[in-house]
Structure 1
Amino acid sequence: MKAKKIFKGMTAAAVAAVLAASMVPMTAFAAAPGYDDLTAQTVTMPSTLSSAKYNVYLVASAAHKTGDASGVYEYTLETGFTNVPGLAVNPDNKRLTYNGSVLSTSTSASDLKNLADALKTASSSASTVTDGSDLASGSSLTLAPGYYLVTTTGTQMKSAPILVSVTDAAKTLTAKSSDLTFEKNIVSVKDGQGTVDGTLDKHKSAEVAVGSEVTYEIKTNFPSYSDEVVAAVNRTDGPSLNITDFVITDDPSRGITLKDIVVKVDNTEVATSSGTYVIDDSVTTGKNGGTGFKITFDDAYVVNNKDKSVVVSFKADVNEHAASQDAIPNDATLNFANDYATGGGSGELKDETDIYRTDLIIYKTDEASNPIEGVGFTVYKTNPATDAGVTKGDAIGLERYTDAEGKITITDLPAGTYIISETKVPANYKKADDVTITIEAIKDTASNKYTGAYKFTGTDKISDTENDNMKTIVNIKGQELPGTGGMGTIIFTVAGAGVVLVAGIMLIVYMKKRKIEE
C-alpha cells in the first residue's frame, strides 16, 4: 500500500512536470493549432544616440499556416492599435494593410511616416512588450515575428517613431529623424511636347518626345536636432561634432541632359557661392548611364537650419539617346549620417521617376514595294476637329526626306494627332494623299502612371485591336493632274482655244475652195 502511494506521488509529479514544460513554449510564441512555430529574432536598438532610451510595442502579431508554401504571414492587430486610422487586417487573407494597400517594403516613405506617427499617438494607451521599456542604446531584445513600434526618448536628437517588421532575420535599428522625408517628382513638360501622368502635383511619370524639356523637383528637409547637438557642431573651444554629410544625388538616363540646377532652403534660393553646399554636376557613376549631380551640404549649415525645407529643382532636355517605348529613368538618393538615419539603418532614402517616348516610322515605296529615296514629308499639328474634319495646323520641324531604304524615323512627336503630307514628290510619280495618324500614350488605371506602351491609329494594321508605329505610303507612277484654277487650267484652256481656231480656219478655207470649184 505504501509503495502504491509512492508510485502515485511520482506519477503526479511527472504529470505536473510535463504540464509545466508544455507551458513554456506557449509563452515563448507557441503556435495555434494549424499554424507553424515561428522563430523569434534579435532586434538591436540604435547605438548612435548614447543618451537615448527606447520603448517597444507589439502592433500586430504574425502567424503562418502549416504547409502554406507561399510564406505569407497572417496578422492580428493588438489591443491599443485596433483603431489607428487606415490600419486594418484584410478579412479574406489576413494581410496587414494601410489605406487599403498591403503594408510591405514597397509602401511609400510618406505613408510609413504617417502610419508611424499615428501608432505613436495610439501607444499612449498601449503597453510595451515584456522587457521592452526604457531600453538602453545598443541593447537587444528577442521578438516574435510581427510589426513593432519603437519610440525614442532622450536629449541628443528629436526622434520619430520607428515601424519595424520582424520576420525571419535579426536586424539592427538606428535613430530616425522626426520629419526626415524625401521625394522626387516631375513638375511639367514644356512647349506642349508631352504631358505628365495625372492631375495631382506629385507626378512620377510623363509622356515626352525628343526635344521635350522636363522640369524635376526633389523635396526633403534637414533633420531636427536638440540644442546639445547644435552646440556640439558649432563648438569653437574644442573639437566640434562631425555628423558627416547630408548628400542629395541625382542619377539620370543618358537620354536626358540636365541643366539649370537651383537649390532652395526654406523657400529661399541658396547660391553655391554661399559656401553652405558643394555641387558636382558631372557625376557619371550612377546606374542609369547619364551625367547627374551630387549636392553635399555643410554639417554646421544642416544643424543650424534644422527642420527647414530643402528643394532642388532642375530641368532636363530629352535627347537622341532617349529610349523608345521604354523607361527613361531619373532617380534620386538622399544619403545621411547615422545620427539621423531611418529605422533599419540604411542611412539612405530613394525616389524614382520615369519618362517615356515613342517613334513614328514612315516608309515610302512604289506600287511594286520598292523603296523610293529622297521623298520629302512635312509633319503638321492638327487644328481642333470641326464638322469639316481635321485640318492642318503648324508644321513640326523641317521637311524630312526618305533614306536609301525609303524610311524616315520621326522622334519628336508626343501623343497627339498629326497630318503627314508629301511635300516633295518624286519625278514621274503622283503625289500621295495626306495621312492622319493619332498616337496615344497608355496609362495604368490603378496608378495613373504612363507605362511606356503606345497605341497608333492610322498606321499599318497588325490586328483588330492593335496598330504598329509604322506607316507605308505608296506612290503611283503618272503625271500629277493640275489643280482647279492653276496654271495647268490656263494652259489647257489656251490649247483648247487654239484647236477651235485652227478648225475654224480650215473650215473657212474648205468652204471657199468648194465655192470656186462650183
Structure 2
Amino acid sequence: MNKVLKGLVAVAATAAMAIAGVAGASTAMAADTYDITVPQTDSHTYSVYQVFTGDLSKGTLSNIKAGKNFNTSNGAGDNGTNLTAAEAAEKIAKVSDTATDTEKLETISKFVNLNGETFGTVSKGAPLAAAPGYYLFKDQAAVTGNDAATLFIVKVNGPVTVNRKADKPTLEKKVKDVNYSTGDKSDWQDSADYDVNDDVPFQLTATLPTNEADFAAYKSYKLVFHDQQSGGLTFDGGSVVVKYGDTTLNADSYVLDQHPTDGHTFDITIANAKSVKDAAGSAITVAAGGKFTVEYKSKLNENAVIGATGNPNEAYLDFSNNPNVGGEGNTGKTPTDKVIVFTYQLDINKTFNGGTPDDSDLPEFTLYKFDSTTKDYTNNRGKVNITKTEDGKYTASFKRVDDGKYKLVETKTPAGFNTAPDTTFEITADHDATSNDPKLTSLKINSKVGDTTTGTVVANVVNQKGSNLPSTGGMGTTILYAAGAAIVLVAAFGIAFAVRRRNAR
C-alpha cells in the first residue's frame, strides 16, 4: 500500500500544479475505459469507489476532477470548510512521504464518500470497466474467521489486476516439559507430562501481521487471547506475565478476565497493541511482525485424566481485521491451537511367599522420586495401602505420576513377613513434541512396556514369610532337651567304662 499511496500523493501533486496553471496546458487524450480484475485465487468481492478522475496522457493523469464517490462534504478545509476535488488533490500532495500509511490513508479517506452508491464491484471472473482515475477498494461483506479485510487505493491508467495483501496475525500455544529427576527442560512444545500438584508452564504467542503496509493501515489494533483448559488443570491468575518481545507490559496495557462470559478459563485483552507501555509507563514501539506473549502456570490437579487422552489446553486469538475507517472494532479469529499434558499411573502387584497376611494387616508403601537438586530420592509422592481384590490379588496404585526415577519403600509390613527390599525403577515416556494433535507414543517402566491407552505401568513386589525361632515348650525345645540327655548319658557311660578298666588292672 505504501508504494500506491506514495504514487497517489505524487500524482496528486502534479495534478494540483496543473490545476493551478503552473504545469501549463495538458495534452489530455480521450478517456478510454480499462478493466479492473482480481486473481482467480482471490475469493473476495470488493466495493469500488471512484475518488478522482482525470485526463490520461502518456500514463499520467492530469486535470483531476471529482469522481462519482468524491466526498463533497469532507470538512477538510480551514474552519471545517469543504474542499473541491482540485483543492483535495493539492492537500493530498502536501502529505509527507515520511508519513505512515495510516496517516496517508486517513487524509485520502476524508475525500471518499462510502455511504452513497458505489461505482461498482469487482470479483474474480467479474471485471469492472473504469475510466482513468483513482479508486478506493474495500471488502463488500464483513470478513470473518481467520481472514482480514483490505482497503487500498488503485490508480487506473490502463488494465489493472488487483493483488490484495491482507496480512493477519498468528497464534501459537505451547507448554514446557520438565523432568525433575534429571533436571532436563524442553523448549516450548506441544506436549508434556507432569505429576499431580505440579505447576505446568504455558505460553501463548501472538505474531502481528508481517506486512508493514497492512499493519500500518490500522489506527489501532486489538488482540484478545482466549484460553480454555480442561478440568485437570487449575489456572493460576497470579502467574500471568504479558510481554512484547522481551519487555514486560504494565498492568494498564491489558485486561485479564478470569471469569469471562464466553465460558473460557480466562481472556486477556490488549485493546490497542499500538499503544502499550512497559512496567515504567514508557511507550513501547510496536512494529509489524512483532510478538506479544502471555506466560502463566496451571496446576495439574486430582481431576487430571490419566493416559492417552491427556489434559488438553486450547487457545485462539481475536484480532482487528478491518483497516477501514471506523472498522477497528471488527475482529477475526485465528484457528485454535492445542497442547496436551499427560500423566500416568503406577500399579503395584503385591505377592506373599510362604503364607497369607491377615486382611486387616496389609502393607503400606511410600513412593519417593529422585530429585536432581538433592541427588537423592527426597521427593515424597505419597503413601498407599495394599488392598485385596475379589479375586484374591493384592494391589495398590499411585495415580498421576510422570516420567522420572522412583524408589518404592514398604513403610508398613504385615506381621509374620519380612519387609520387602526397596524397589527402584524409572518411568520413561515419549509424546509428540510438535503436532496439532499430540499423542502419547510410548510408556515404559525400566524396559517393561506399559499401556499407553490407560497410561499404566506395573511394579511387582514380593514379601517373604519370616523364619520362626524356637520357643519354650515347643517341639524345638524338646528336641534340644533330648539331645542334651543323650550327650549326658554317653558321657556317663564313658566315665564308668574307664573306671572299670582301671580297677580291673
How does the TM-score come out when normalised to structure 1?
0.49
Deviation at residue 220 of structure 1 after TM alignment: 1.4
Pick aligned residue for 1:218 from 159, 184, 204: 204
Deviation at residue 475 of structure 1 after TM alignment: 3.9
In structure 2, the partner of 1:294 is: 267
Superposed CA offset, 1:346-371 (max 9, x none): 43343211111110112435468999
In structure 1, the partner of 2:322 is: 339
Give the whole-Å Cα distance in 2 for the aligned partners of 1:461 and 1:184: 31
SS at match of 2:243: strand
Q: Is residue 437 of structure 2 the alignment partner of residue 456 of structure 1?
A: no
In structure 2, the partner of 1:400 is: 384
Mapped contact 2:137–2:151 kept (Cα < 8 A): no
Superposed CA offset, 1:436-466 (max 9, x none): 5443313459969962254334799999xx9
User: Structure 1's 248 and 45: CA in aligned 2 closer, same or farther, altered over 3 A?
Assistant: same
Deviation at residue 318 of structure 1 after TM alignment: 1.3
In structure 2, the partner of 1:362 is: 348
Give the whole-Å Cα distance in 1 for the aligned partners of 2:202 and 2:215: 33
**1:75-94 equivalence runs, <5 A:** none
User: Structure 1's 264 and 371: CA in aligned 2 closer, same or farther, altered over 3 A?
Assistant: farther
User: Structure 1's 356 and 184: CA in aligned 2 closer, same or farther, altered over 3 A?
Assistant: same
Q: Is residue 248 of structure 2 the alignment partner of residue 262 of structure 1?
A: no
Pick aligned residue for 1:353 from 313, 324, 339: 339
In structure 1, the partner of 2:412 is: 424
**1:27-176 equivalence runs, <5 A:** 43-45=43-45, 131=127, 136-138=137-139, 153-154=152-153, 175-176=166-167
SS at match of 2:255: strand
Give the whole-Å Cα distance in 2 for the aligned partners of 1:365 and 1:42: 70
Deviation at residue 332 of structure 1 after TM alignment: 1.3
Q: Is residue 195 of structure 2 the alignment partner of residue 246 of structure 1?
A: no
Which stretch shifts more, 314-323 or 433-442?
433-442
Paired residue type of 2:466: Q
Paired residue type of 2:247: T
Paired residue type of 2:313: N
Q: Which runs of 5+ in 1 are unaligned?
A: 1-39, 53-127, 141-149, 156-163, 165-172, 234-242, 385-390, 483-496
Mapped contact 2:429–2:444 kept (Cα < 8 A): no
In structure 1, the partner of 2:304 is: 322
User: Structure 1's 434 and 277: CA in aligned 2 closer, same or farther, altered over 3 A?
Assistant: closer
Mapped contact 2:369–2:381 kept (Cα < 8 A): no
Tell which structure's C-alpha radius of gyration is larger. 2
Paired residue type of 2:384: R
User: Structure 1's 261 and 444: CA in aligned 2 closer, same or farther, altered over 3 A?
Assistant: closer
SS at match of 2:43: strand
Mapped contact 1:249–1:293 kept (Cα < 8 A): yes
Deviation at residue 261 of structure 1 after TM alignment: 0.7
Paired residue type of 1:44: H
Pick aligned residue for 1:187 from 176, 189, 197: 176
Deviation at residue 42 of structure 1 after TM alignment: 9.1
User: Structure 1's 327 and 506: CA in aligned 2 closer, same or farther, altered over 3 A?
Assistant: same
Deviation at residue 315 of structure 1 after TM alignment: 1.4
Give the whole-Å Cα distance in 2 for the aligned partners of 1:298 and 1:462: 49
Give the whole-Å Cα distance in 1 for the aligned partners of 2:299 and 2:440: 18
Give the whole-Å Cα distance in 2 for the aligned partners of 1:381 and 1:435: 12
Mapped contact 2:404–2:428 kept (Cα < 8 A): yes
Give the whole-Å Cα distance in 1 for the aligned partners of 2:272 and 2:49: 20
Deviation at residue 324 of structure 1 after TM alignment: 0.5
RMSD: 5.4
Percent of matched pairs sharing the same residue: 22
How does the TM-score come out when normalised to structure 2?
0.50
Give the whole-Å Cα distance in 2 for the aligned partners of 1:392 and 1:498: 52
User: Structure 1's 330 and 445: CA in aligned 2 closer, same or farther, altered over 3 A?
Assistant: closer
SS at match of 1:317: strand
Deviation at residue 194 of structure 1 after TM alignment: 9.4
Give the whole-Å Cα distance in 2 for the aligned partners of 1:187 and 1:210: 16
Pick aligned residue for 2:429 from 441, 454, 461: 441
The structure, 1 or 2, with the larger RCO (C-alpha pairs under 8 Å, 6+ apart) is 2
Give the whole-Å Cα distance in 1 for the aligned partners of 2:363 and 2:152: 75
Paired residue type of 1:182: L
Mapped contact 2:430–2:440 kept (Cα < 8 A): yes
SS at match of 2:322: helix
User: Structure 1's 415 and 284: CA in aligned 2 closer, same or farther, altered over 3 A?
Assistant: farther
Mapped contact 2:150–2:166 kept (Cα < 8 A): no
Mapped contact 1:194–1:414 kept (Cα < 8 A): no
Count of matched residue positions in the alignment of Structure 1 and Structure 2: 332
Deviation at residue 211 of structure 1 after TM alignment: 3.0
Q: Which runs of 5+ in 2 are unaligned?
A: 1-39, 52-123, 142-148, 155-162, 277-282, 470-479
**1:489-504 equivalence runs, <5 A:** none
Pick aligned residue for 2:295 from 300, 313, 316: 313
Give the whole-Å Cα distance in 2 for the aligned partners of 1:356 and 1:379: 20
